[in-house]
Every structure is written in structure tokens, then in C-alpha cells.
Amino acid sequence: MKQVDVVAFIVHKNKKILMEKRKLNKKTDPGKVVIPGGHVEQGESFEEACQRELKEELGIECQNFKFIIKLLHHTDIENQMTHYFSCEEWKGKPVSHEAEKIFWVGLEQLNILDFEIDKKAAKEFFQRRVRGINEG
């Protein structure tokens, strides 16, 4: 099975992060609750892919990305090396252009995510937030 690079972005506000429920007609992971993201196109940097996917999927622009973690996700059609980033400063109002719906969840609601890699990335994001607050 081929391996591809994928980006996933944690958009956050008020101690919550944005999730999406994928449409049932998606080729990979239909109907699953996930951290939004998408495939990296040839010649794109991970940040460029995040910027493009954020605009396509949510209609927002991010000014500052921070790398969180890289994890492997196996789907029925490919292996995805998923590069997670947090979107630190964004403009616009998130609107679902590709997912069935989008919604905000806090740390205590991460069990709603369908994949362990998304849970792990979200927990890492929240842990870094706590460390950042405690260190600052």
C-alpha cells in the first residue's frame, strides 16, 4: 500500500479545538469524527498544504503554524503520514465546505474522535498549552 503525506490542523479557541464529521461519500474514513486535514500536493510544504486545506475546507486563513507531532494512519486505500500543526492565529469564521459538520470540543471530550492518532495529537496539543502557560 502506498504511503502519502497528510496534514491535519488544530484550530483552537476558548480551550476547545475544531473537529469535523466526514461526509459518508468520502473515499477515506467516511462518517468519522476527525481533526480536519488533507493531502499534501506535490511541491507543497506542509505549511502551504495546511494553508490551502484550511481555505478549502473551512474558509479561514492561518498566520502562524506550530508543528505538534507526526503519526502514521492506516486507511483502506493508503498509509497516511499525518503531520499535525496548530493554527495559532487565524482570520475568518470557520464554515464547513467539505465535511458533514464541524464543531468545537474540549480536552474532556476527545473520546468523540474516531482515531487514536487524532486523540494522541489533540492530547499533545493540550499538554503543550498547559506547559506553555505554566512556563510563561
Q: Which residues pair with 20 in a beta bridge?
A: 34, 102
CATH classification number, 3-135, choose in 3.90.79.10, 3.40.50.1970, 2.40.10.340, 3.90.550.10: 3.90.79.10
d(CA 50, CA 103): 19
Predicted confidence (pLDDT) per residue in 66-109, tens digit: 999 999 999 889 999 999 999 988 999 999 999 999 999 999 99
Q: Provide the residue ranges of all domains of the chain, joining segments of one domain with +.
A: 3-135
Tell me the three state secondary structure of residue 3. strand
87: which residues sit within 8 A by CB, 6+ positions away? Answer: 9, 10, 11, 12, 50, 54, 60, 62, 64, 65
The model's pTM:
0.92
Distance of CA 130 to the CA centre of its chain: 19
Does residue 60 surpass a pLDDT of 60?
A: yes
Separation CA 81–CA 99 (nearest Å): 21
Q: Identify the pLDDT of residue 28.
A: 84
Predicted pLDDT at 135: 46
